[in-house]
Amino acid sequence: MSAPIRFSTNFLKSSLKLCNIVAFALILLIQLPYTAANLPRGVMPAAASLYTDSGLFTCFSWDGSRAVPSPISIERDKINDDYCDCPDGSDEPGTSACSNGIFFCENKGFVPTKLVSSRVNDGICDCCDGSDEYASNANCQDDCFARGTKLREEKEKERILLEEGHKIYETYCSEGQTFKKNQEDQLTKLGNDIEELQKQWDEINRIKEEKEIPEKAAKAKHEAAWKEEKEKKNAEQVHLKGITAFHELDSDGNGLVSIEEMQKHIEFDIDRNGEVASEEAKEYLEDNETIDEVLFMEKVWPSIREIYTAAKPPEQKKGDDEDTPPIPQDEEEEEETDDENDNPESHQAPTDNENKDNPTESEDEMPEYDDETKALIEAAEQARSSFNEIDQKIKDIKKDISDIEADLKIDYGPNNEFQKVKEGGCIEYTDREYTYKLCPFDRASQRPKDGGVETTLGYWGLWNGPSDNLYSSMKYEKGQNCWNGPDRSVVVKVSCGTENQIISASEPSRCEYEFQFKSPAACGKTFSDLNKTDPEHDEL
Ligand code: MAN
């Protein structure tokens, strides 16, 4: 029962096979004129269809990768007849008849190439398959396969490198983007922190100011009391010294100071003629012949106090009125007072803040604050310390914010992939003379190999690659000025590599440098991305 069915199936299968063969043969027949074997010599595959029409051949020229037919048509048998018919040279791809013809070397096993057709049969082997010298004496060897093998090995190495670089590139992208995201999150967080801290700052500042008011008042009160006490003490001392002076001047001890007694004291020699004239003495005594203690203290002592005290021998002056500087007797003496080693006791009386060694001074030191004031100071101190703490915290956060904002402004590539390059830190390269250093997105420098100072070659400026490959070149600019020349600058050419590395540094023009820099960040394109542009290279 099943036999006839099997027969008919086989029959059908055979018929189908036959149909396929016929169809394939037809396709072959139709395509025959398009095969390389049938093409006139030297025609490139991209132009094959233009040579297959039966009948007339239309001359054409190339506009980029597009063939543009010309108005001139010729008989097909005039193609490659060693006579140039088309002004564009398209009828003589395989001879040297047209100066502008193009000869296509198939170079099987290697890379197909194009030659100007004048190089056809010129005795020089241009194509590795020797096809350009088909009618010359040149003995061309077909070394396309050997060359192809070498090229394939190189390509394979390149492919491995690009693949490896691309893998790292992908991690650079994801880590770079995560980094950026974290920075943005951090910025938001710090912004919120600042807002919160600012509120606390306001409150802590308010407390500080509040605590400082009673502190200030208590301190001022204490200081005013001390000042008053000191003034009182001083006045007493001045008075005491006056009384002592009176008794010293009253040499006969009769309770009166007379003109004669005054004359014994050379410090009253107003005109400095070496003696105290009675008029001079009298002038000091306010025109009196004699003066008693009460009038002396009231009228004379205030005017002679300084002169009298200054003229006293050092031992006697110790602890004298500290508020009053001595009046210099003449220019010489004035100069002497400048020399601290000469006679320290004749110098200006120590003030409250000076000469702590002076035993009398310690008596004048401000006494300790009372417990109540101390407590107020302590409370204000605490408030100040809390304030300083929060104030510093805010300053630190503001600094962090501005650092992050500045970093976010830097263009680390379309996927932030160059952030990893920056993170990697500075990279050095040493040539015969210099060690060059590149701190990505910061600064480039140079220092002589045998030591010496570092020269700044430039600071991070901008990406300056061509518009279709912007991130292939960086510019570091505004470096140290070159004597009689420009500010130094560096162009860093960036290409794909499995690590961040400077592979060369040069100075093409004085003080203008160029680094070749390899980085996985530049491995955005894969091997196939880079090798799919030229279809004629597929034959490799
Ligand atoms: C230094 C270096 C050189 C540069 C000269 C210019 O020697 O920075 O690279 O050419 O200065 O004077």
> What residue spans define the domains of the chain?
45-142, 419-523
* Predicted pLDDT of residue 55: 78
What DSSP line would sit under 257-317, residue for residue? EEHHHHHT-GGG-TT-SSS--HHHHHHHTTT-SEEEHHHIIIIIHHHHHHHHHHTS-HHHH
Residue 511, ligand 1, Cβ within 6 A: yes
Query: Cα–Cα distance between 477 and 426 in angstroms, integer?
Result: 17
Residue 445, ligand 1, Cβ within 6 A: no
Q: How far is the CA of 462 from the centre of ligand 1 (A)?
A: 23
Residues of the chain with pLDDT under 70: 1-37, 52-53, 314-363, 533-540
Question: What residue ranges in 378-454 does DSSP mark as E strands?
Answer: 427-430, 434-439, 443-448
Asked if 95 and 101 count as a contact pair (C-beta separation under 8 A), the reply is yes
Query: Cα–Cα distance between 160 and 112 in angstroms, integer?
Result: 24
Query: Cα–Cα distance between 114 and 106 in angstroms, integer?
Result: 9
Residue 466, ligand 1, Cβ within 6 A: no
Q: How far is the CA of 488 from the centre of ligand 1 (A)?
A: 9
Q: What is the pLDDT of residues 194-213, one digit of tens each?
A: 999 999 999 999 999 999 99
Q: What is the pLDDT of residues 227-245, one digit of tens each?
A: 999 999 989 999 999 999 9
Residue 419, ligand 1, Cβ within 6 A: no
* Predicted pLDDT of residue 533: 54
Q: How far is the CA of 460 from the centre of ligand 1 (A)?
A: 20
Mutate which of 456, 510, 514 for ligand 1? The one with the most ligand atoms within 8 Å of its CB, which is: 510
Mutate which of 429, 481, 482, 484 for ligand 1? The one with the most ligand atoms within 8 Å of its CB, which is: 482
Residue burial 114-145, b: 16+ Cβ < 10 Å; e: rest? ebebbbbbeeebbbbbbbbbeeeeeebebbbe
The residue nearest atom 4 of ligand 1, judged by CA position, is: 511
* Predicted pLDDT of residue 337: 36
Q: Homologous superfamily of 419-523 in CATH?
A: Mannose-6-phosphate receptor binding domain (2.70.130.10)
Asked if 301 and 246 count as a contact pair (C-beta separation under 8 A), the reply is yes
Residue 482, ligand 1, Cβ within 6 A: yes
Mutate which of 483, 511, 514, 515 for ligand 1? The one with the most ligand atoms within 8 Å of its CB, which is: 511
Asked if 420 and 176 count as a contact pair (C-beta separation under 8 A), the reply is yes
Query: Cα–Cα distance between 386 and 238 in angstroms, integer?
Result: 48
The residue nearest atom 9 of ligand 1, judged by CA position, is: 511
Q: How far is the CA of 443 from the centre of ligand 1 (A)?
A: 17
For 64, the token pair is 């980029």
Asked if 454 and 434 count as a contact pair (C-beta separation under 8 A), the reply is no
Q: How far is the CA of 457 from the centre of ligand 1 (A)?
A: 10
The residue nearest atom 2 of ligand 1, judged by CA position, is: 511
